[in-house]
Amino acid sequence: MFLLILSSVLTALSMPGFVAGFIVWFALIPFFKSLEGKGPFWGALYGFLYFYIFSAINLFWVLPVLTENLPKVFGKFPSWLGFFVFLLMLLIEALPFAAFGFLYGFMEQIVKKNQFKEILFTTSLYTLLDFVRSIGQMGFTGGTLSDALYKDTGILQLVSMIGPYGLTFIIVAVNSWFYIILRKSTRPMEKIIFNTLVIIFLSYMVSLYLPLAKSVDKTIAAIQTNLSQETKYKEDPLHLFGQFEPFLVQTKDSVIVLPEDVFSFDPRSSVVATELIDLCKENDLDILIGAVSYNSKTYNSVFLVNKNGFVDRYSKVKLFPFVETLPYEKIFGVFSFLRGLSYFEPGEEYRPLSLRDYPPLGVQICFESYFSEPSRKLVKNGAQVLIVCTNDGWFVYDVALKQHFAKSVIRAVETRRQVIQVANAGITGMIDPYGRILKTATPRKFERIVFELMPRTDITIYCKTGDIIVWLSLAVVIFLLIFPGQKTISAKRRIWQ
């Protein structure tokens, strides 16, 4: 059990916002060691506990949102109930890894007869079940192992070909290899340390030779509004507009991007509509601003406003479960108290926005940047630059801000698109198409920052093929479960005889 907990802690410490990403190269070794000889049923318990403890540490920043911020702003449930919801969230996240422990325990003695088979089965099984967490109405990708390497620009380039789960596959394969070294080699610690340093060195060398991204004579001004949630949801429209109007006034002949949910109402039917349009006319502006929109249904949208009015919008397609939409209503209807002001309808398509003589901008809203699908579809539909508008003001701890920004880094590399994230509290920043973080605003400050655009039109291998590594992992797991090996079959025949 000590080894299991150690592995959970090490994996958490490798995540964005904690200690260092390189820890992920050996974080799973104690977990694999703890599974030795446990069999399928104890293995299921150990797999579940590993990911439950890891998620509790890695996602600790969710707890204040559920026990303090949401109850305080919306007043729909007590704090103790938020704590129960947090525990349930961890349970849902950890369930796929109960399946990992079960199947690993079932196959352990078989696959360990061949080192290649052991690495292949363990890696494929982990990758497959980590991907399972991301699918469905309750899908979530927080804690994906590839997140740990968002600052390791060299090795991160693989994501443009094999995606984040391909990088996860490599990470688990290295851990499996190190676990075999630990079992079978003399002086294993020296070998593990040496090989980890080699990986880090090679990644660093690749990062030195990456090309510089080309910018064009176009800029975007981002405004980090840093408005508290109580202000956003309780103050009148003109007061909210007055908070960031000074930054709008000092910008001319440009595009301005504001965060998600600047207005928790539809601005088209409020007094701020005229103010925004007049300002666009006076200063020749195009403004992207997050707000609720009503069009027979309610959406979480980003509006495009210019001198002609509210001319276009992108509505969030992938909604946050329980807060923005109620997943599997017949099962989880009892959790409707977590709803914000209202439930939203999903947008219809991932459609880039066209404005002025700017390259097409692919806008994503908050939770959407946790997933590859929105970015890939926006790029395939013509987006040359990606914009992430988010309201991360709910989070007390900067770890949450860093983990969200790390997802934008992954999105940049896998699509070879510049990503500009504009957040309420931070992190507002610019990432080039190779995943280099070039410029950021100071978190939790009211700030205006200008970014040069780096549009691209090429399509990466990953954008074309998607998560093919997951399908290959599924094929490997099924094949080895059905055809475990000749030695095992012969042994079973002798037993029956």
Instruction: Give the dihedral of Cα atoms 209, 215, 219, 222; nearest 10 deg.
Output: -20
Q: Are residues 13 and 71 in the same domain?
A: yes
Q: Are residues 288 and 344 in the same domain?
A: yes
- The structure tokens listed for 137 are 């109405």
CA angle 334, 337, 338 (to 5 degrees): 110
Q: Give me the sign of the Cα torsion angle 26, 28, 34, 37.
A: negative
Q: Are residues 250 and 357 in the same domain?
A: yes
Distance CA 123, CA 256 (A): 44
Tell me what pLDDT residue 486 has: 55
Tell me what pLDDT residue 444 has: 93
What is the full per-residue pLDDT of the chain (497 aa) written as tens digits? 999 999 999 999 999 999 999 999 999 999 999 999 999 999 999 999 999 999 999 999 999 999 998 888 887 888 999 999 999 999 999 999 999 999 999 999 999 999 999 999 999 999 999 999 999 989 999 999 999 999 999 999 999 999 999 999 999 999 999 999 999 988 999 999 999 999 999 999 999 999 999 999 999 999 999 988 888 887 888 888 998 888 899 889 899 999 999 999 999 989 999 999 999 999 999 999 999 999 889 999 999 999 999 999 999 999 999 989 999 888 888 888 888 878 999 999 999 999 988 999 999 999 999 999 999 999 999 999 999 999 998 999 999 999 999 999 999 999 999 999 999 998 999 999 999 999 999 999 999 999 999 999 999 999 999 999 999 999 999 999 999 875 544 434 333 33
Show the domain range for 74.
2-210+467-496
- DSSP E strand stretches across 358-458: 361-365, 385-390, 419-423, 429-431, 437-440, 447-452
Q: Which residue has the tokens 């001004």?
A: 221
Q: How many domains does the chain have?
A: 2
Q: Are residues 456 and 471 in the same domain?
A: no
User: Read out DSSP for 270-335?
Assistant: STHHHHHHHHHHHHTEEEEEEEEEESSSEEEEEEEEETTEEEEEEE-SSPPBTTTB-SSHHHHGGG
Q: Are residues 453 and 472 in the same domain?
A: no
Distance CA 62, CA 60 (A): 5
Pairing of strands 437-440, 447-452: unpaired
Q: Are residues 296 and 153 in the same domain?
A: no
Q: Are residues 314 and 392 in the same domain?
A: yes
Tell me what pLDDT residue 495 has: 34
CA–centroid distance for 460 within its chain: 19
Q: Are residues 47 and 86 in the same domain?
A: yes
Q: Which of 388, 310, 384, 316 is nearest to 352 (CA)?
A: 384
CA–centroid distance for 344 within its chain: 21
Task: Yes or no: say if 311 and 286 are a contact pair by the CB < 8 Å rule.
Answer: no
- DSSP E strand stretches across 354-457: 361-365, 385-390, 419-423, 429-431, 437-440, 447-452
Q: Which of 419, 414, 424 is nearest to 453 (CA)?
A: 419
Q: Are residues 233 and 170 in the same domain?
A: no
Pairing of strands 429-431, 437-440: antiparallel
Question: Catalytic site residue 316?
Answer: yes
- The structure tokens listed for 454 are 């780096």
Looking at residue 221, the DSSP 8-state letter turns out to be E
Q: Identify whether 220 is preceded by a cis peptide bond (ω within 30 of 0).
A: no
Q: Per the residue annotation, which of 118, 232, 280, 316 is the catalytic one?
A: 316
Distance CA 52, CA 46 (A): 10
Identity of the residue numbered 103: L
Distance CA 23, CA 20 (A): 6
Q: How far is CA 308 from CA 78, 111, 295, in A?
A: 46, 66, 19
Question: Catalytic site residue 36?
Answer: no
Q: Is this structure's pTM higher than 0.95?
A: no
Q: Are residues 339 and 480 in the same domain?
A: no
Distance CA 10, CA 13 (A): 5
Put the strands of the sheet holding 437-440 in their side by side order.
Answer: 361-365, 385-390, 419-423, 429-431, 437-440
Distance CA 290, CA 298 (A): 13
- The structure tokens listed for 40 are 């399928």
Q: Are residues 286 and 400 in the same domain?
A: yes
Q: Specify the CATH number for the domain of residue 427.
A: 3.60.110.10
According to DSSP, the residues that pair with 285 across neighbouring strands are 254
Question: Catalytic site residue 389?
Answer: no
Q: Per the residue annotation, which of 93, 108, 118, 260 is the catalytic one?
A: 260
- The structure tokens listed for 60 are 């600790």
Q: Per the residue annotation, which of 118, 232, 280, 366 is the catalytic one?
A: 366
Instruction: Give the dihedral of Cα atoms 62, 344, 229, 93; nearest 10 deg.
Output: 0
Put the strands of the sheet holding 219-224 in their side by side order.
Answer: 309-315, 298-306, 285-294, 254-257, 219-224, 447-452
Distance CA 215, CA 417 (A): 12
Q: Roughly how many angstroms between the first and final C-alpha of the chain, as a whole number?
A: 39
Q: Are residues 130 and 279 in the same domain?
A: no
CA–centroid distance for 246 within its chain: 33
Q: How many helices (H) and strands (E) does the chain have?
A: 19, 11
- The structure tokens listed for 386 are 């990606």
